Amino acid sequence: MIEPLADTVCAIIPAHEEERFIAEVVRAVRAHVEKVIVVDDHSEDNTGLAAATAGATVFRHPQRLGKGAAIKTGLRRAAAENYEYFLFLDGDGQHDPSEIPRFVDKVSQSKTDLVVGNRMNNPATMPWVRRLTNRFMSWQIGNLCRHKLPDSQCGYRMASRRLLSVLLQSSDGFAFETECLLLAARNGYSIDFVPIRTIYRAEQSKIRPARDTFGYFQVLSKHLIQRAPRERVQPLPFGGTEVSDQG
């Protein structure tokens, strides 16, 4: 268990049809963080049950709303329980929970608002198409927000509660990570990166190329034509239906 931040960190895992891996992920995360929230984005398998059995608090969307929406459901619940830090990782086993201390150490030492995993220090295991796409997107987004971003698309992150309004303004889809970085940089929050490894499996990606690419460019277009206001959004009642609370 992480000290001294263990009781102030809540892990939030968005999941869609991750029955095969989610229990293993939850158990590994709970070795470092006591509270784990899994948001089941309307899976047709037993993702929610597997996560709850492993010790997570689980909420289920009544319909598929998107990765960003699932994260925000978890955020609202975690914020309502007064957690100070939010840890995000995927439920498919690509993110190694043993690297959680890297994020916590960075936050503890520098009080950084947003810490993002950087896969690009050792991208050899990353599929080449994804590697090239990530480099291009990171360059493009970095230019837009005037911040050096070695890896803009990694979903393995840790954020301070100070960033809550930015997180809740971000996209409901896979563009969540992109918009979060843009809003954080434009509103003057500190951003840093920690090196991580990623475990790529043979399973089909959850990304829907046409729809998610369109969403990505929608976000870029919006931020090209207007600067994000420094408005503080009040957390809304969290969405979803609680399945079980064993965390």
More reliable by pLDDT, 34 or 9: 9
pLDDT at 242 over 60: no
**Percentage of the residues of the chain whose pLDDT score is greater than 90:** 59
DSSP 219-242: HHHHHHHSPPP---PPPPPP-SEE
The Cα–Cα gap between 117 and 32 comes to 17
The answer to whether residues 174 and 216 touch, using CB atoms and an 8 Å cutoff, is yes
How many residues does the structure list for the chain? 247
- Options 3.40.1350.10, 3.90.550.10, 3.40.50.150, 3.40.50.970; CATH for 6-225 is 3.90.550.10
From the list 89, 65, 118, the residue with the least C-alpha distance to 11 is 89
**Percentage of the residues of the chain whose pLDDT score is greater than 70:** 76
More reliable by pLDDT, 168 or 197: 168
Look at residue 121 in the predicted model and tell me its pLDDT. 77
Q: Could you report the per-residue pLDDT of 73-128, keeping only the tens digit for each?
A: 999 999 999 999 999 999 999 999 999 999 999 999 999 999 999 987 776 666 66
Query: Residue-wise over 151-166: b if at least 16 C-beta within 10 A, else e?
Result: bbbbbbbbbbbebbbb
The Cα–Cα gap between 175 and 155 comes to 10
Look at residue 27 in the predicted model and tell me its pLDDT. 98
Q: Where are the domains of the chain?
A: 6-225
- Who's near 163: CB < 8 A, 6+ residues apart? 113, 114, 184, 189
Indicate the pLDDT class of residue 59, thresholds 50, 70 and 90: very high
The Cα–Cα gap between 185 and 42 comes to 32
Its pTM stands at 0.82
From the list 80, 65, 54, the residue with the least C-alpha distance to 14 is 65
Greatest C-alpha distance within the chain: 47
Q: Could you report the per-residue pLDDT of 144-195, keeping only the tens digit for each?
A: 777 788 888 899 999 999 999 999 999 898 889 989 999 999 899 999 999 9
- Who's near 112: CB < 8 A, 6+ residues apart? 106, 160, 190, 191, 192
The answer to whether residues 120 and 128 touch, using CB atoms and an 8 Å cutoff, is no
pLDDT at 205 over 80: no
Sheet holding 35-40, edge to edge: 191-195, 114-118, 157-160, 85-88, 9-15, 35-40, 57-60, 241-245
